[in-house]
A and B are shown apart, each in its own frame.
Chain A
Amino acid sequence: MMTSRINAAEIDDPSMVDEEEIRQSPFWDWDFAFDAFPDIFMAFLEVTILVTVIGTLVAAVLGLIIAILIMVLPRPLAWCVRWLANFIRMTPIVVQLIFVFWAFVWMDALTIGIIVFGIHYATYMSEVYRAGIESVPKGQWEATTALSMSAGRTWRKVVIPQALRSTVPSLGNYAISMFKDTPFLLVIGVAEMVTVAGEIGAPVFRSTEVYTIAGLLFLAASYPTAVLINRLEKRLAYAH
C-alpha cells in the first residue's frame, strides 16, 4: 500500500523498525481490525456518506436546472450555459477541488468538497435529464398546448415526471460514481474514510485490515443502492 510505504521511508532511523517482526506478523489481525473499525466507520458516516448524499441532492437539482435552462433560454444564453457545463464536465474533479480550495480559502474544505462534487456531477446529470426530456413524446407537449397549460405546470406535471422515469437508473449510477470518487477529497485535506484508514494503519505498518474495511464499507453502501435503483426503475416502468 502506498501510504505505509511512504511513511516507512520517512522514518529517520530504519533500525528502529523491526523488519523481521513486520514480515512475520499475520496477514490479517482480527483484534486490530476490530479496534480500527469504529474510527473508519465514523469517517465513513461523517464524510463519505455526507458528501455523497448532499452532493447527489445538489447534483440532481442543479443538473435538472441546467438541463431546463439549456432548453428554455434564448440561444446565446443557452449556449453559454452549455459551454460552461461542458467545461466543468471535461475537466478532472481533482483539479476542480484544488482550484476551488485555493480560490475560496476562507471556505471550509468539507463544504468545498460538497459543492465541487455537486456541481461536477450536476453537469453529468444534466445530460441525463436532457435525454430524458427529449424522450418525452411530442404528443405530450401538444396535449399541454391543447389544454392551454402553463409552462410551469407543463414542466412540473407532465414533462419532468415522464422524463425522470427514464433517468433514474443513470442518475443512480452517477450517485454511486460520486460515492467512489470521494477519496479525491484527500487533495483538499478532508479526512474521508480512505485517508482515515491510511492514518490508522500507517503507524503500525498494517494496511490490509484498514483498507479491507474501507473497501467493504464502500461495497456495503454501493451494492444496496444499486439494487434499490434497479427496483425503483422497475416500479416506475410498471406504474405507467
Chain B
Amino acid sequence: MPTPTDAAGTQPEAAASFSPSDTPVIKFVDVEKRFGDNIVLKDLNFEVAQGERVTLIGPSGSGKTTILRLVMTLEELTGGYIYIDGQPLTHENRDGKRVPVSKKDQKKLRTRIGMVFQQFNLFPNMTVLENIIEAPIHVLGQSKKDAIAKAHSLLEQVGLPDKADSHPSSLSGGQQQRVAIARALAMDPEILLLDEVTSALDPEVVDDVLNILRQVADTTNVTMLIVTHEMGFARDVSHKVMMFDGGHVVEEGHPDKIFTNPEQERTRKFLSAVLGH
C-alpha cells in the first residue's frame, strides 16, 4: 500500500520494537481533538504497525479513550489526520486543505476496525447469536450459514458454547463482555480497539476476559489498540506502551522498559499510584 504523499507534519518515530518497514495500520498526524474550548488532544503523532499491540496508559482524562473513539469515528476529529492502512479516515490533506472524505470511503475503512466497549453495548433485543451474526451477514455479506458457524466457533473460543440463544440480560457482566469480544471478532477486524474492557467487571471475572484477549493476541495477527488499567495485562500483551498525560505522549517504549525503568518522573508517579507501591 502506498504511503500517503500528502501526509503533512513530522514523521513520528518508528515503533520501538515492531517491523517499522510496514505501512502503518494506524497513523495519527497532528491530531487535535477539542470539545468546545476544551482541548483534549493536541499535535498528536504516532503510528501503529500491522499486528502491533499498543497499550495507552495514563490518568483518566488524559485522552486515551478519545484516541480509540477517534479511530472508531465515534468522535469528530477537529484537527489533523488519521490514516488507516494509508488511507485517510475522516479528512484528507489536499494541498494543505482539510477535505472530508466521502461517507462511503469512511464506511469501507471502518469495517476493518472493531471495538469492545467498557459497557459491552450488546443489543438487548437480540439473542447472543443474533448479536454476533448481524454485522457479518448484513455488512460483510456473509451467508447466514457461514456466519452462524463462525459465531458458534467464536462462542466456543470465549467459553460460552451454550449461550447462543440466551438474551444478554440473562448473562453476567463477564459473559456479556466475552460475547462482545466474539461479536467484534466475527467481523474479522484488522484493528481491534479495546476500551477499558474490564473496568465494569467484577474483580473475579476480570482474568477470564483478559485470558481470552491474551489468547486472541497469541493466535491472531490483529492490530490492537488498548486502553486499560490492568498493568499486568498491558505488560503481557503489548509490544509498545504509550504513557499519556494532558493529551500528550509523555513517554513510550517497550513494556518492560516502561514498567521497570521509566525515564519520566510523570510515568513513575502514575505507575506507582496504579500499582500501589
Contact = CB atoms under 8 A, between A and B. Distances in A.
Interface of A: 137, 139-140, 142-143, 145-150, 153, 157-158, 161-162, 165, 239-240
B87 to A, nearest CB: 15
Given A147-B183, A148-B135, 19 more contacts: A137-B121, A139-B119, A142-B115, A143-B117, A143-B122, A147-B114, A147-B139, A147-B187, A148-B139, A149-B134, A149-B135, A153-B134, A153-B138, A157-B125, A157-B126, A158-B125, A162-B125, A239-B167, A240-B124
A157 B133 CA distance: 13
B107 interface: yes
Contact of B139 (A142, A149, A240): A149
B229 to A, nearest CB: 19
Nearest to A238: B169
Contacts, number: 64
Interface residues of B, number: 26
Nearest to A153: B138
Contact of B123 (A140, A148, A150): A140
B82 to A, nearest CB: 15
Contacts of B167: 239-240
B125 A146 contact: no
Q: Is the contact region of chain A dominated by helix, strand, or loop, or is it mixed?
A: helix
Nearest to A152: B138
A120 B225 CA distance: 51
Closest 4 CB pairs of A and B: A147-B135, A143-B121, A139-B121, A146-B115
B169 A240 contact: yes
A189 B126 CA distance: 48
A165 B167 CA distance: 15
A153 B141 CA distance: 14
B8 to A, nearest CB: 27
A161 B125 contact: yes
10 contacts: A143-B123, A145-B74, A146-B74, A146-B117, A146-B121, A148-B187, A149-B134, A161-B125, A162-B123, A240-B124
